[in-house]
Amino acid sequence: MTTIDRTAATRQVYFHDSLAPGASLVVPSVFVAVRWHHGTLLLVRRRDSGAWELPGGRVDVGETAVEAAVRETAEEAGVRVEVTEFAGLFSDPGHVVRSVDGEVRQQFAVLFRARWLCGVPHGDQHETSDAAWVPVAALEGLAMEPPVRLWVAQAIAVGEPPILR
């Protein structure tokens, strides 16, 4: 398994870590699992840490979670999608993120499944350095934050009921 470069990271992710700072807010975010033919999943690579994750991000004021999912996937991965299914809600108080500006938040993530409509995956060169269709069989060898691995496992468990954590 590839490691995550913590020295280059501009944000810090804590997952059930006794050294985690206390969160001061909860920010709603969305993440999108886009499956394509031949057992591949759309992933983006973070510019700051080199870690792979599902495309996604914060829900902006005035938009729905589904609108945010479509927007974030287009921004981070360069593809248009249609959200097809709610896959899970992850609000574990043990998942804390400290941003580069010092904001410390508890992650509150809504996971959707979506279908690809058009576009060739590419990083936005702002938040993501790459975007790619990754074979599900290759996921284990990629650098991912522990909570992202949980989201990916739920995302590829097609036919399973949504998970609430």
Dig out the tokens for 56 from the structure.
Answer: 């996604």
> 90 near 151, Cβ under 8 Å?
yes
Any idea which residue has 């990271």 for tokens?
9
Average predicted confidence (pLDDT) for the chain = 91
Dig out the tokens for 19 from the structure.
Answer: 């050294």
Tell me how far CA of residue 144 lies from CA of 74, 102, 109, in angstroms. Answer: 21, 22, 16
3 inside domain: no
165 inside domain: no
pLDDT band for position 9 (cuts 50, 70, 90)? low
- In sequence order, which residues have a C-beta less than 8 Å from that of residue 146 and are 6 or more positions away? 15
| Count of CB atoms situated within 10 Å of the CB of 38 | 8
Q: Does pTM top 0.85 for this prediction? A: yes
Residue 7: its pLDDT value, please?
46
Q: CA-based angle 151:154:159, to the nearest 5?
A: 155
* Rounded CA separation 165/103 (Å): 23
Residue 99: its pLDDT value, please?
87
- For the residues 15-33, what does the mean pLDDT come to? 95
Q: pLDDT for 128-162, tens place per residue?
A: 999 999 999 999 999 999 999 999 999 988 788 89
109 inside domain: yes
- Sign for the CA dihedral angle at 159, 69, 37, 44 comes to negative
Q: Which residues pair with 43 in a beta bridge?
A: 132
Q: pLDDT for 53-85, tens place per residue?
A: 999 999 999 999 999 999 999 999 999 999 999
Note down the domain range covering 110. 12-158
Residue 21: its pLDDT value, please?
94
2 inside domain: no
Q: Residue 84 sits in a domain of what CATH number?
A: 3.90.79.10
How many structural domains are present in the chain?
A: 1
Residue 1 has pLDDT above 60, yes or no: no
Dig out the tokens for 103 from the structure.
Answer: 């904001």
